Structure 1
Amino acid sequence: MKLKKSIYYIFATLVFAAVTNQLYAQQKDTLATKTEVVNFKTAVRPIGYGNQQKSHTTGAISSISGDEIRDAFNNRIGNALMGRLPGLTIRQNGFEPGASSTTLNIRGVNTYGFSNAPLVIVDGFMADYDQLVPEEIEDISILKDASATAVYGLRAANGVILVTTKKGKIQPLAINFNAQYGVQNPVSLPRFLDSYSYAFLLNEGRRNDGLGELYTSDDLQAFSNKSDPINYANVDWYDEVFRNTAPQSNYNLNFRGGTSVVRYFASLNALLQDGLYKKFGDENEESSNSKYSRLNFRSNIDISLNKNLSAILNLGAAVEDKRNPGELTTNNTISLLDRIAPNSFPVRLANGSFAGTNPLNNPVGDLLSTGFSTSNSTTLQASFRLNQLLDMITPGLKASAAVSFNSFYSGLSNKRKTYTRFSTGAVATPFGQNTSLVGTEGVQSQWNNNALQASLTYNRVFGKHDVSAMAIFNSDYYLINKAYPGTNAAGNDIPYKTNGVSSRVTYVYNEKYIAEFSAAYQGSNAFAKGKRYGFTPAGSLGWIVSNEDFLKGSKVIEFLKLRGSYGFVGNENIGGLRFGYAQRYPFVDGYIFTGTSKLSGITEGQRANPDLTWEKEKKANVGFEMNFAKGFGLIVDLFQNNRFDILDRPNTTIPLILGYNGVPETNLGKVKNKGLEATVSYQSNQSKNLQFHFNAQASYNKNEIVFSDELTQINSARTTTGMPIGYGFGLEAIGFFSAADVSDNTIARPVGLVIKPGDIKYRDIGGPLGLPDGIIDDNDSAPIGNYNLPDWTFSFQSGVSYKGVDLNLVFQGVTGINLNLSGNRYYAFQNNGKVSEIALKRWTPETASTATYPRLSSTDNNNNFNRFSTFWKRDASYVKLRSAEIGYTLPVKTLKRLGLQKTRVFINGTNLFSLDHLDEADVEALGGYPALRTVSLGLNLHF
């Protein structure tokens, strides 16, 4: 609460200063607002450690403004970027409020090592981006090739994401208020069968196992007519725990303006989101409603101290609060809901007590009577920069110095208790005890990231010669004060330290020919002395063909630029044992000399590798950009990345006869990744009442493991070398066993299992040279599908406006990827679990020719059933309507009477529908918290 009060105080102070400054501006400056049309040749693009005229860039860079992603009503920026930037692949890791995250990959994956995560830079420094809101973002750019990323040295191999927050402008005070309120509902929920169907199918499974039926015909009748809901329960546990809709709202107030002396931007944003749990906190004060909230604050101030010296102070903060009944996340509750059978017991007995058994908790009782959990996290981002013009030395020279402080803290509070539940039947057996709430507090995670920068930049035009140069020194450290519970925090008390210098030189001749060289010399304390520093150079060329005489004045081609780059970058985040270059001697149990006491000893740990180094990558890229036919645009890029020195276990190059206690990790692996990206866009004449625009994007990438020092396989098809990273290796299902197959001993089957008609049959390729050997085991695994990232990612964004009405749509899709069904939602009766609709198409002697599901079994020891195989493989391709928004802007005459510059009302929807091949669930949420659809109503006010 102290932090919130501080934010409110700072915000109020800043608003007062802004208003005071505006009064001063009205006295000193005459300013007029106007609509600017961006000129392509003078527009600038973030290129890392600075900006560059867009027509002069030779790197592969894609950008989007913060205003363009405001129509995606999400609590994470990563989700809002889906389908917006070519070359950026995004996976949403869960949908639970406050517990979701996104995985971002630039141009697919390039290593099978520890990390493919791109480097994220916010306002020039490493920082977290996912908690930012669109209203505080000026633009987001992704740097993809060596020309664009080489200045980031040993952190650039996975690409770079640049986030620039909004700054003040020389303009009158502009106040914007945005409000949005909507409801979320699950896209789909698991479709489990009721008690009658469960009992009927379980009897069938037991008969298939040679066991007696568990339920009589009278039992089945009681389940069917629901005459005894206590002893013959029929509970839809998801319906008891979850509600159909939950509210979500977002409110933003921001100020922007300034004079030639002071320019400012300030923003306050509040996001409120309820979880799908029912309001258990309203029923019991010792429980809690499911809620998530986030408060974002930003204050960016730019002050001209004199005509040559300016100062920039950027402050940003995000405060998150999450609470749930029971445990902090829904993971364990959903796992129980997926397992507990509908007839296990009712929610409550006739006397109102909670029902339950010894091995199974009551989900409703757990959420009402075991207390609640809360977490609070604070993210702070602060940077201060001084810019000094050095025109007195030479025109175009500028010096800059900056410091950054970023921190994150997350605390956890648990209020826990237990309760008593009772079995059904004539004698209600109690399980558990009623206790009082007991609180525990702790730290979930905490880190600090501080950095220093100093730079010199030079920009000068000499007739036909345009020269720009940059040199920058950067030093930063990252310290994890406390790791997440259960993780290995060894070495985390020592900061991750990086120092380096970077440079870039760009030369443009006659606005036609462009040459650029960039490089970094950077070092990390992750490696041994003498091995810490590396040089990462890159060069690129560009040719603005449209400025040549033979294309000047063309009525078709308005702008055409060819470009190419080649360079060398690195990735220091290689994983493995930290400080693996140093030999370790861990303590172990020693010897007993007298009595029972042991004297501790030490032993040689994993063998050190003093030559440990970072991953390295050679990047090549060619592409072109063009504008043509009065409104059309086309951008195409082809690329190839060759990654090497990937950390790997030397399974074949170091023989076991050497007797190492832990084979040293070695830089051995190699991966090749190549692909293409294309963007086609159109913008109609903006002076017309009827306007139309679209942007179609497609990205393709395919990687291959060139070398992995893996063990020699009996079946060469199990070798990962030559295959894409993350490719699935499993059995090939070739139907179901028939009665004739079961009696035919020449048909391969798993060793030690009794195969029956209706079991899954697999192809036998497990012998030497891929020949049959008569048994089914792990040696029969072969490549069966891509379970990592899609081969193709595509999107289509379009909009139309007529006078005050506008409509915008964003479609996004992927293809060339698979998923695997597993767990209680798809495996009938596994772990004494329930059964879903997928089992209705099971194999029986009568349905043998049409069955799509194996015979039912009530036991868990049929390992033939749930093997990773093509039987459970599904095509994960989809096309989704990510967002749709229709709005209306009120006429100007009406607004002026109210003192408004612009007012817009709109209806927005996110994740509205999906076209895919999956019948069993949403393609992005096979398990866990359900995928969410949101429909909202919003209002924008501009003063």
Structure 2
Amino acid sequence: MKLKPTLYILSTLALVTVANPLIAQQKDTVTTKTEVISFKTAARPIGYGFQPKNYTTGAISSVHGEEFRDAFNIRIGNALLGRLPGLTIRQNGFEPGASSTSLTIRGTNTYGFSNAPLVMLDGFMSDFDQLVPEEIEDISILKDASATAVYGLRAANGVVLVTTKIGKIQPLAINFSTQYGFQNPVSTPRFLDSYSYAFLLNEARRNDGLGELYTSSDLQTFSSKSDPINFANVDWYNEVFRNAAPQSNTNLNFKGGTSIVRYFASLNALVSDGLYKNFGDDNEESSNSKYSRLNFRSNIDISLNKNLSAQLNLGAGVEDKKNPGELTTINTINLLDRITPNSFPVRLANGSLAGNNLLSNPVGDLLSTGFSTSNSTTLQASFRLNQVLDMITPGLKASAAISFNSFFSGLSNKRKTYARFSTGTTSTQFGQNTSLVGTEGVQSQLSNNAVQALLTYNRVFGKHDVSAMTVFNSDYFLINKAYPGTNAAGNDIPYKTNGVSTRVTYVNNEKYIVEFSGAYQGSNAFAKGKRYGFTPAGSVGWIISKENFLKDSKVIEFLKLRGSYGFVGNENIGGLRFGYAQRYPFVDGYIFTGTSKLGAITEGQRANPNLTWEKEKKSNIGFEMNFANGFGLAMDVFQNNRFDILDRPNTTIPAILGYNGLPETNLGKVKNKGLEALLSYHSNEAKKLRFNFNAQASYNENEIVFNDELTQINKARITTGMPIGYGFGLEAIGFFTDADVNNNAIARPIGLIIKPGDIKYRDIGGPLGVPDGIIDDNDSTPIGNYNLPDWTFSLQTGVSYKAVDLNLIFQGVTGINLNLSGNRYYAFQNNGKVSEIALNRWTPETAATATYPRLSSSDNTNNFNRFSSFWRRDASYIKLRSAEIGYTIPASALKKLRLQKTRLFINGTNLFSLDHLEEADVEALGGYPALRTVSLGLNLHF
């Protein structure tokens, strides 16, 4: 299904999570604030602690683990699609075990190294993509300065807070859930068969002035499929991939406790088969494609006495991945996209694998070249002591904690070669049959340790509510191979950060809120004397619904205005590590005698002792409102001004100085602004028929304020003043006609013979800034946004009647483009195949209606596949991300089984898309196919 302009109307759906007000508590003249335990009912994570929802002045959005269990995804990041306003998620691949997610909060704020947010798991920096919903209590994103300032030099890109489940004082509760289903490709490339390939290749060669390669007899044989050996017609995707692959997920967890010990334990097993056919069943020296993961978590809270408690959190994960051939599919899919359907059959008549000297056989590669496996282990552990210090003053508490995170991934390759044979009367052998040879290695390895000391104070003095927090945090992570999200590919020098953070909140008469927060933090990424910086922030809030003129309102239950302003930083700036120190790399020296060279050193890239982190000024204004009839409304408007972005001084430092590499300097500036809004409704829970919805929308708009870029002949190529990631390419203005070809006044690339049906581009400018009759890089102009969408929006809705419930999540984006490239879209390029996109090619007969250029058998890289608006597509979409229908069996029917609750359900993910793209799935133009999953599940609660 395809989307029309209604997408842009839907994108205006309004609208940062509605904060349900707390029920006011009666307070004595001097009392201690009631400790908040339940986030779901009374508090929200704010960074190094919790705060009552109605007293938060920062821009924070949260989602509970139970709310995204309906999304059957291997990576938890994908399950968050459409659930948190301000969070944009990009799926990096779909292959089980080889996919990942990229998160950005409030769009793109820097053109520097990283826009990735800081992720904190149970108070410590960590990864969370391998977790499962069953072990997560909630996930929150911190977006403005008030919420993020306590994280100092790591906060500019926003913060993701992940809290795992803990035990409670209750009888033992056992929950078991299992689901089993199938995943299948949303779409696969639509390549043409051998007859169409040969027919169109003849046409392409005629267009190039070459003779036809296939005779009419050849075409007839291809069409009749009478000689499948010498006139092969192979659908290589069908030979390698199957239509569906199984996937299962099973979870068992325990929760309970007493006043002495509270516990939560969880065990989860996930198995996902890849879409490859089961080549391991046909050859014991190959393997089937399979990914599996085992997650374990144990969180224990022990009261050592009435004032002292200890928490021990342990989380572990073991991932295993196996594939025939190579570990990932990239090389196989590249071959499938290139190899023509008539290159050779899969096998010859005698059963031998076919092939030639230029191309291997994809089936042979997966069946007879061995297999690869990887195994990774993750350990996340933290230990914390909590001490109540009421003996000093009521409301004072202290805690100290240590954490240890480690990740190790090993790789094992079992490789061999195989013989393949050409077709024809005299068959030629290519390659040899060899035995398996194994190699073992480390893919990646890291460790991350931290220590933390925290002091909190919460008191209420009549109408005065005071909260304060101070925390010291010191951590480092050590990279031995590679660590995603850093600018190092292996280093034995740890990344070290120290800092002190504080937050003070004052609430007067439960109506007026003032908060100050900040951090003094330093990083060993910078020179001594330049390592530490201060990041302050202030915020205010006004709970208007507490005022007399609204206090007795029967329409508005809760209304709060809030605003914040402050400074934060981003230490992950990229560039050369320790760029403040001058390097003198070894190079080849001079020859003094004979032919041997003596080693020498030379001055490397010029050092900059004044390197510093990126800095950002954040401002935010928002409101939250609840209505008595179940509606909620919230909105935030923000602006971020990032500066000191790492850049090359291309114009600031003249080239005449002769540096061997310009120094990296903090010159760049970016402005980013936008809004987030949410509209929600929840019907009366006491009714048999219940309904709820949550409509969210986010808008981001950024601009490069300064980028010290090279001087451009064409002013349209200047990136300053443009959004980050905006595409610069040629503007296509149709196809050349016969008249155009013979008109030398029409611009064209130098040295290229233009023919009717070639793409024609607009001549924008030459050395003098005026059209020069030549198409080259100087004619590039802004042609589209290829970075992140301007608008993201979602609709979460659910309805239930008695024991039946239905939940749906729609998510979409607008204001983003994509670019078609490669063999799937470029006909006959790199001696490749041709797909359906080329059927509407330019010919003299279709000149008025053609949407594809004339066919050519050569790699016409100077004109055909230039980065241009011709290959640009609108990447806007609306997708049904998840749908689930369930039935809860009445408890009375389960009394003999001692079950408290049993629920059967069917759910699906990525079920359909409304978009403008005809050629492929909008999220998978190339590589492994995007996946759709449908599964049947069962929940048992004892």
Fold shared, TM-score > 0.5 on shorter chain: yes
SS in 2 for 1:551: helix
Counterparts of 2:777 and 2:593 in 1: how far apart (Å)?
49
The answer to whether the 8 A contact 2:57-2:541 is kept is yes
The answer to whether the 8 A contact 1:753-1:862 is kept is no
Does 2:115 align with 1:116? yes
**Residue equivalent to 1:7:** none
SS in 2 for 1:523: strand
CA deviation digits over 1:590-612, x for unaligned, max 9? Answer: 11111222110000000000000
Counterparts of 1:144 and 1:37 in 2: how far apart (Å)?
23
Does 2:88 align with 1:89? yes
**Residue equivalent to 1:930:** 929
How far does residue 490 in structure 1 lie from its aligned partner after superposition? 6.8
How far does residue 493 in structure 1 lie from its aligned partner after superposition? 1.0
The answer to whether the 8 A contact 1:280-1:325 is kept is yes
Matched letter for residue 190 of structure 2: R
Counterparts of 1:362 and 1:151 in 2: how far apart (Å)?
57
**Residue equivalent to 1:572:** 571
1:38–1:500 Cα change, 3 Å: closer
CA deviation digits over 1:768-823, x for unaligned, max 9? Answer: 56421111000000001000000000000000011100000000000000000000
The answer to whether the 8 A contact 2:472-2:500 is kept is yes
Does 2:865 align with 1:904? no
How far does residue 191 in structure 1 lie from its aligned partner after superposition? 0.1
**Residue equivalent to 1:804:** 803
The answer to whether the 8 A contact 1:491-1:578 is kept is no
Does 2:474 align with 1:475? yes
Does 2:507 align with 1:508? yes
Does 2:74 align with 1:79? no
**Residue equivalent to 2:835:** 836
**Residue equivalent to 1:15:** none
The answer to whether the 8 A contact 1:142-1:160 is kept is yes
The answer to whether the 8 A contact 1:648-1:667 is kept is yes
Of structures 1 and 2, the one with the larger relative CO (CA 8 A, separation 6+) is: 2
TM-score by length of 2: 0.95
Does 2:757 align with 1:758? yes
**Residue equivalent to 1:703:** 702
Unaligned 5+ residue runs, structure 2?
Answer: 1-35
Counterparts of 1:930 and 1:711 in 2: how far apart (Å)?
39
Counterparts of 2:697 and 2:502 in 1: how far apart (Å)?
32
**Residue equivalent to 2:166:** 167
CA deviation digits over 1:333-390, x for unaligned, max 9? Answer: 0000000000000000000000001110000000000000000000100000000000
TM-score by length of 1: 0.95
Does 2:458 align with 1:459? yes
1:223–1:899 Cα change, 3 Å: same
The answer to whether the 8 A contact 2:487-2:575 is kept is no
Counterparts of 1:347 and 1:684 in 2: how far apart (Å)?
60
How far does residue 129 in structure 1 lie from its aligned partner after superposition? 0.4
**Residue equivalent to 1:290:** 289
Counterparts of 2:939 and 2:319 in 1: how far apart (Å)?
25
Unaligned 5+ residue runs, structure 1?
Answer: 1-35
Does 2:352 align with 1:353? yes
The answer to whether the 8 A contact 2:482-2:489 is kept is no
CA deviation digits over 1:270-307, x for unaligned, max 9? Answer: 00000000000000000000000000000000000000
The answer to whether the 8 A contact 1:705-1:725 is kept is yes
Counterparts of 1:410 and 1:567 in 2: how far apart (Å)?
40
CA deviation digits over 1:647-691, x for unaligned, max 9? Answer: 000000000011111100000000000000000001101111111
1:96–1:799 Cα change, 3 Å: same
CA deviation digits over 1:110-156, x for unaligned, max 9? Answer: 00000000000000000110000000000000000000000000000
Matched letter for residue 619 of structure 2: A
**Residue equivalent to 1:243:** 242
What aligned pairs does 1:187-336 form with structure 2 within 5 A after superposition?
A: 187-336=186-335
**Residue equivalent to 1:883:** 882
**Residue equivalent to 2:30:** none
The answer to whether the 8 A contact 2:353-2:419 is kept is yes
**Residue equivalent to 1:611:** 610
CA deviation digits over 1:491-548, x for unaligned, max 9? Answer: 7110000000000000000000000000000000000000000000000000000000
**Residue equivalent to 2:14:** none
CA deviation digits over 1:627-654, x for unaligned, max 9? Answer: 0132111110000000000000000000
The answer to whether the 8 A contact 1:747-1:774 is kept is yes
Counterparts of 1:37 and 1:326 in 2: how far apart (Å)?
51
How far does residue 400 in structure 1 lie from its aligned partner after superposition? 0.4
**Residue equivalent to 2:659:** 660
How far does residue 484 in structure 1 lie from its aligned partner after superposition? 7.6
SS in 2 for 1:449: strand
Matched letter for residue 451 of structure 1: A
Counterparts of 1:521 and 1:39 in 2: how far apart (Å)?
28
Matched letter for residue 825 of structure 1: R
What aligned pairs does 1:865-884 form with structure 2 within 5 A after superposition?
A: 865-884=864-883
Matched letter for residue 814 of structure 1: V
Matched letter for residue 569 of structure 1: V
The answer to whether the 8 A contact 1:716-1:769 is kept is no
The answer to whether the 8 A contact 1:145-1:565 is kept is yes
Counterparts of 2:630 and 2:768 in 1: how far apart (Å)?
58
What aligned pairs does 1:177-192 form with structure 2 within 5 A after superposition?
A: 177-192=176-191
Counterparts of 1:39 and 1:170 in 2: how far apart (Å)?
16
How far does residue 766 in structure 1 lie from its aligned partner after superposition? 1.9
1:37–1:892 Cα change, 3 Å: farther
1:440–1:216 Cα change, 3 Å: same
1:580–1:191 Cα change, 3 Å: same
The answer to whether the 8 A contact 1:465-1:509 is kept is yes
**Residue equivalent to 2:815:** 816
How far does residue 455 in structure 1 lie from its aligned partner after superposition? 1.1
RMSD over aligned Cα atoms: 1.3
Counterparts of 1:687 and 1:260 in 2: how far apart (Å)?
33
Counterparts of 1:358 and 1:410 in 2: how far apart (Å)?
36
**Residue equivalent to 2:17:** none
What aligned pairs does 1:575-654 form with structure 2 within 5 A after superposition?
A: 575-654=574-653
**Residue equivalent to 1:19:** none
1:898–1:491 Cα change, 3 Å: closer
The answer to whether the 8 A contact 2:192-2:834 is kept is yes
Counterparts of 1:407 and 1:275 in 2: how far apart (Å)?
27
SS in 2 for 1:611: coil
Matched letter for residue 798 of structure 2: G
Counterparts of 1:655 and 1:862 in 2: how far apart (Å)?
35
CA deviation digits over 1:443-495, x for unaligned, max 9? Answer: 0000000000001100000000000000000000010012389x995771100
The answer to whether the 8 A contact 1:444-1:484 is kept is no
Counterparts of 1:419 and 1:344 in 2: how far apart (Å)?
18
Query: Displaced runs of 4+ in structure 1, greater than 6 A?
Result: 36-40
The answer to whether the 8 A contact 1:766-1:777 is kept is no
**Residue equivalent to 2:28:** none
**Residue equivalent to 1:100:** 99
1:491–1:689 Cα change, 3 Å: closer
% of aligned pairs identical? 86
How far does residue 622 in structure 1 lie from its aligned partner after superposition? 0.2
CA deviation digits over 1:200-228, x for unaligned, max 9? Answer: 00000000000000000000000000000
Matched letter for residue 211 of structure 2: G
The answer to whether the 8 A contact 1:717-1:770 is kept is no
The answer to whether the 8 A contact 2:482-2:490 is kept is no
How far does residue 39 in structure 1 lie from its aligned partner after superposition? 10
SS in 1 for 2:765: coil
Counterparts of 2:39 and 2:157 in 1: how far apart (Å)?
32
Counterparts of 2:581 and 2:498 in 1: how far apart (Å)?
21
The answer to whether the 8 A contact 2:487-2:574 is kept is no
1:97–1:488 Cα change, 3 Å: same
The answer to whether the 8 A contact 2:487-2:577 is kept is no
